[in-house]
Structure 1
Amino acid sequence: MEFAFSASDHKAIADLIYRESGILLPDTKAKLIYGRLARRLRACNLDNFPDYLARIANDAEERARAVDALTTNHTAFFRENHHFEHFHRALWPGFAERLAAGERVRVWSAACSSGEEPYSLMMTILGTDKVAAERLAHQDFRVLATDLSPRVIATARAARYPLDTTRALPAAMRAAWCRRDGDMEELAPVLRAPIAFRELNLLRGWPMKRPFDVIFCRNVMIYFDEPTKAQLLERFADQMVDGGILYIGHAERIPPDVSARFRCIGRTAFQKVS
């Protein structure tokens, strides 16, 4: 290894990341920590982890870069597609009626990574209908899409993806919403219009004042311990309308401490109990 990396270095970094983000980095993640932070040591012209730890203890910007580097951002268009199918079948007809009557509908993609989740939701709603997209842009429908990582939020806002990524889209949707630009494809502005991308740490304060009808928070809680999961889910319940829907990842479960606040209505789909 280029840099010495001791057990005490690992523990100090794991403790910091847990405090900052709730993410657990056990001993089995030592190679991941080393591999991702070695690049930061080089960028800071440092030659050992203790000096880097001292740096991130006093440098908020570098500390944010360290947290970003150690955050996993795996995603894809229409990942765990059963949630989008459920949304389209069970929720969207009622939402469309409310919007046509001038009411509001709000959705939160609470760990949106590089944007594939909220964009998949928009394509689920619109199919290939550009006229419907123009109409929706003038209704009171908004999607808040947040993530801890400034890097992936920047990618999401740009809405530009490698061809290998967009090839996973259904052909008709890709033709309707993607524009080729060299070795990338860019999503149409009208598809992007209802989405607001923001940086947000789920374990810190939330600036949102009004409740959400639907929250997607998928494949995030697998990195949290049970108390952190319970705390987050309590806050989600508080941030939802009565009867609001929460989608979580296929490997995630509602902890017993908060199970009374939700009832299962489908495959990893839960409704807030009034």
Structure 2
Amino acid sequence: MRPDALPYLGYGLGLRVEYYEALLASPPQVQWLEVVSENYMVDGGLPLTWLERFRERFPLVMHGVSMSIGSTDPLDQDYLARLAALAQRIEPAWVSDHLCWTGVQGVNLHDLMPLPYTEEALDHVVSRVKHVQDVLKRRILLENVSSYVSFAQSQLTEWEFIAEVAERSDCLILLDINNVHVSATNHGFSSSDYLRGIPVSRVQQFHLAGYEQGERLIIDTHDAPVSNAVWALYVEAVRRFGRVSTMIERDDHFPPWADLLAELDHARALAEPLLRDAA
């Protein structure tokens, strides 16, 4: 399977209950939807009824938060079976999760925890990604997470680690532009170096979101508009990676529908002239 085998979807949004009715009106500028996998990994009921309605109108992708690909706990085979069943049911364009760990010794921390960027961790993650892809019978996307601590043991930069995971496991990358900016700011590395270190052929999707400015750190919250700094980095990413499916994430402090659509239109307005010039 070639890295460019998956479709280009355009400009989309995360499927959130707050916007169900507005989305069913099918605004033309929303071209696809990303669904949180765990919200629909059930046998039946209202969530799946809604999901089927959206499936009739939009291309869907599945985005998980609980795979815990980097944990030392064994992979949850029941979770993977339910994930595979949902993917078979809704036939998403792709399935993604985060390059992180979310728990250990059976305890779910309900957060996306960073990894040490070591050769040992790299081998561990690659073997687990290969297993997940065998179970799902498809290539998955892994997303870079925001981080607030780093490990003294790390032997690689974050972008070197992500690139190696993708190349060795033959997975793809969901590049979260906001998370690149958050981590670069918090740790003092160059976001431009980060983008240059990610292989172009592996990037299948972009995330855009907002953050909260703390006293000493910036926190990835998905509850604010996309910042000017992230928009500028998005432009840089489009110049490097070209035409990549892009979406806005919003998980709290939900704005009026028109404001969210305006953000999506802004992403399109920034990217399309660059893409036309590069054609």
Q: Is TM (by shorter chain) over 0.5?
A: no
Of structures 1 and 2, the larger Rg is shown by 1
The structure with the largest helix share of the pair is: 1
- With normalisation by structure 2, the TM-score equals 0.29
